[in-house]
């Protein structure tokens, strides 16, 4: 996969649960979803009576405009997946059609919830590497399909500052996946873990029950020691 910009593709609550190995207790924590984009994680949890705060620069736009941005890039992204099916594991999304239907259902759920959720402060227009939250405001910060994945567009320094900022506002941080768009491990991963270790954080690589990019079934969990 090659992309010249970050695409507004979103995942479901079930995918978040798998990617981040979220337990029922985890879902009761105060959760910050960073770079949540058009994921339906927030909307689905809200429907279950829970409250998550999501942030993303996309949230400066209206829901319909975000859907249009998805529509503009969808054929290219799904076309690239179709051209290299061997790069992906089809255990969760059985085939390309299921994948496309899921991504469309997810963004539709998101759009339906967005205006109300934004008014309620559940969707916040903000972006890494600087967040306007208090120290330790959240029990758990999650960041999926942004850091590491787009290593070709964002520098190591951006990754480090972003991770430190998320650890400032959250007690624990989980990031998934750790691969770049081309399916190779991000070159930032090892130096970042070393740097965090030296700053007194505890980093753990955890295998999870979600693998779409071949070999991409590891999540990085960072806590304060």
Ligand X SMILES: C[S@@+](CC[C@H](N)C(=O)[O-])C[C@H]1O[C@@H](n2cnc3c(N)ncnc32)[C@H](O)[C@@H]1O
Residues making contact with ligand X (CB under 6 A)? 6-11, 34-37, 39, 56-58, 127-128, 144-146
213 DSSP assignment: B
Between 56 and 172, CB nearer to ligand X: 56
Residue 9 Cβ, how far from ligand X at the closest point, in Å? 5
Judge whether 181 and 153 are in contact, CB under 8 Å: no
Residue nearest to ligand X (CB): 37
Residue 225 Cβ, how far from ligand X at the closest point, in Å? 26
Between 35 and 203, CB nearer to ligand X: 35
Judge whether 185 and 178 are in contact, CB under 8 Å: yes
CA distances from 61 to 58, 67, 123 (A): 6, 10, 11
Backbone torsions φ then ψ of 56, nearest 5 degrees:
-175, 145
Residue 53 Cβ, how far from ligand X at the closest point, in Å? 13
Between 125 and 197, CB nearer to ligand X: 125
Between 57 and 79, CB nearer to ligand X: 57
| DSSP assignment of 78-102 | HHHHHH-GGGB--SSS-SHHHHHHH
Helix (H, G, I), strand (E, B) or coil at 39: coil
By 3-state DSSP, what share of the chain in percent is helix, strand and coil, each rounded to 5?
Answer: 40, 20, 40
184 DSSP assignment: S
Between 56 and 113, CB nearer to ligand X: 56
């Amino acid at each position: 996969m090659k992309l010249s910009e970050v695409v507004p593709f979103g995942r479901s609550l079930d995918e978040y649960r798998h990617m981040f190995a979220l337990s029922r207790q985890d879902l009761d924590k105060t959760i910050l979803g960073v770079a949540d984009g058009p994921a339906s994680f927030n909307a689905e949890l809200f429907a279950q009576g829970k409250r998550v705060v999501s942030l993303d620069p996309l949230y400066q736009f209206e829901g319909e405009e975000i859907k249009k941005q998805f529509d503009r890039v969808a054929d290219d992204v799904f076309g690239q997946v179709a051209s290299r099916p061997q790069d992906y594991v089809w255990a969760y999304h059985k085939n390309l059609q299921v994948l496309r239907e899921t991504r469309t259902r997810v963004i539709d759920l998101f759009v339906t919830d967005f205006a109300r959720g934004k008014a309620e402060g559940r969707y916040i227009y903000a972006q890494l590497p600087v967040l306007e939250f208090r120290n330790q405001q959240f029990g758990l910060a999650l960041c999926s399909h942004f850091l590491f994945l787009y290593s070709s567009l964002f520098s190591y320094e951006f990754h480090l500052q972003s991770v430190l900022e998320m650890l400032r506002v959250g007690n624990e941080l989980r990031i998934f996946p750790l691969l770049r768009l081309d399916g190779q491990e991000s070159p930032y991963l090892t130096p970042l873990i070393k740097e965090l270790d030296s700053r007194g954080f505890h980093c753990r690589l955890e295998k999870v029950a979600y693998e779409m990019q071949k070999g991409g079934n590891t999540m990085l969990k960072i806590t304060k020691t």
